[in-house]
Amino acid sequence: MPDYELACRTGRATKQVRARRVALGIPRLPSGPTRPWTTDERALLGTEPDAFIARKLGRTTLAITKRRVTLGLPAVQYPNSKRRRYTRAEELLLGTMPDDELARRLRRTTGAIQRRRVMLGIVDCKRRRWTASEDALLGRLPDEELAQRLNRTLAAVVLRRFKFRIAKLNSRKPPWLPEQERLLGTMSKEEVARRTGRSRSSVRQHRRVLAIRRSG
């Protein structure tokens, strides 16, 4: 199925699905027959608001926006529009809470939040709720490592940790490598500590995080 459809079904970002597919050497499946862009259509991009051009060309607003961004053309504001640009801080909040809640917080419309989130390939947070096991990992792993492990955005992990007032793990500690984690549960904590160059308490704590039974 197309990347965007698989992203919706699995609750992941489209770019994560695309990156995983490329890493596995799987060719892209076309989303369906696409209508080629004509010279006249491309010439219209950036001359009016995307929604206006979408209606003229019989395409979706998202398709117009993506094509315009690809060509490096600036957006045209709606007539008498007072819309403000998105800041980096606002974009980091996209997908971390329901669109309507974020719209109220940022004083924007729900439709505007949804369009910006979709354009950036960010999945709606309602598609994938936090589980108890995921919450249990907050503060036990560096935010960056946990975000990668859970296939969530860094901002989502940070905000979730803030919500429960969980302190950030010292990010200066080197993350556990997969080959190191495979040693847990196969030998004593003293042996794991010796092989990985970590303390026994660090080994014990990581076993608890991964719910691995002790071998000694």
pLDDT, tens only, 117-169: 877 777 776 667 788 888 888 888 888 888 888 877 777 788 888 888 787 77
**Number of continuous H segments (helices) and E segments (strands) in the chain:** 14, 0
- Name the one residue in this structure whose structure tokens are 């999945």: 123
Q: Which two tokens stand for residue 147?
A: 């975000």
Report whether pLDDT(208) > 70: yes
Burial 63-86 (b: 16+ CB within 10 A, else e): bbbebbeeeeeeebeeeeeeeeeb
Average pLDDT of the segment spanning 96-102: 82
pLDDT, residue 184, reads 84
Q: How many CA atoms lie within 13 A of 155 on its CB side?
A: 13
Six token digits for residue 149: 């492990």
pLDDT at residue 32 greater than cutoff 70:
no
Output 35 or 28, whichever has higher pLDDT.
Answer: 35
pTM of the model: 0.31
Please give the Cα distance from 11 to 13 (Å, whole number): 7
